[in-house]
Chains A and B, each alone.
Chain A
Amino acid sequence: GAVVSQHPSWVICKSGTSVKIECRSLDFQATTMFWYRQFPKQSLMLMATSNEGSKATYEQGVEKDKFLINHASLTLSTLTVTSAHPEDSSFYICSARMDLRSGNTIYFGEGSWLTVV
């Protein structure tokens, strides 16, 4: 079946540095990918919608200059947390939408745990 892979699964970085998380659709093309954030014991909240070849659409309250999203190909979207701070520590998870002709189904990645120290 379709698989969406995220890398890294977990990462620890120092405050002030940047960290990149990759989201790949392994056996299908995804024109749209979504990025969610989940703080401990909370629900998942949509951060942004990433469309291949165009700028991402960010949800209200999400800083686009801090959370850089690049969807450079039909199988890869990246989320870069710039100048990370401890409050950015969270679980980040992506999802990818298979195109309409292939069923329009959405698959989630395994998620990435980010800890900023």
Chain B
Amino acid sequence: AQKVTQAQTEISVVEKEDVTLDCVYETRDTTYYLFWYKQPPSGELVFLIRRNSFDEQNEISGRYSWNFQKSTSSFNFTITASQVVDSAVYFCALSEVSRGQNFVFGPGTRLSVLP
């Protein structure tokens, strides 16, 4: 079973629309980290956020916000007022302390923001 599920393979929105990328994870660890990364066509991974399992506070950073809910094992990512520059593949990832903190990446969501 996949440990990190991103149900949306591809999403297309028109500029200025809000968009939410879903992420559901699976772990038996009590201590773990969740991440979101952006991967533009050039390939590098752009770090967006890290959240540890003991911190369920939602976070907002500019147009980005994250909703972490342990009860549903979800860590969703919302972009408000999307822009063309937001077009990229977005990965949700899980890092479990018991596994030495290697990353398990979700399959990714390709976001296209159309002008």
Contacts and interface: CB of A to CB of B under 8 A. Distances in A.
6 closest residue pairs by CB, A with B = A110-B44, A111-B43, A108-B45, A44-B105, A43-B105, A43-B107
A49 B45 contact: no
A77 interface: no
Interface of B: 37, 43-45, 47, 50, 91, 95, 100-108
Nearest to A110: B44
Given A111-B43, A113-B43, A32 B107 contact: no
A38 B104 CA distance: 13
A48 to B, nearest CB: 9
Interface of A: 32, 34, 36, 38, 42-46, 49, 91, 93, 95, 97, 104-106, 108, 110-111, 113
Contacts of A106: 95, 101, 103
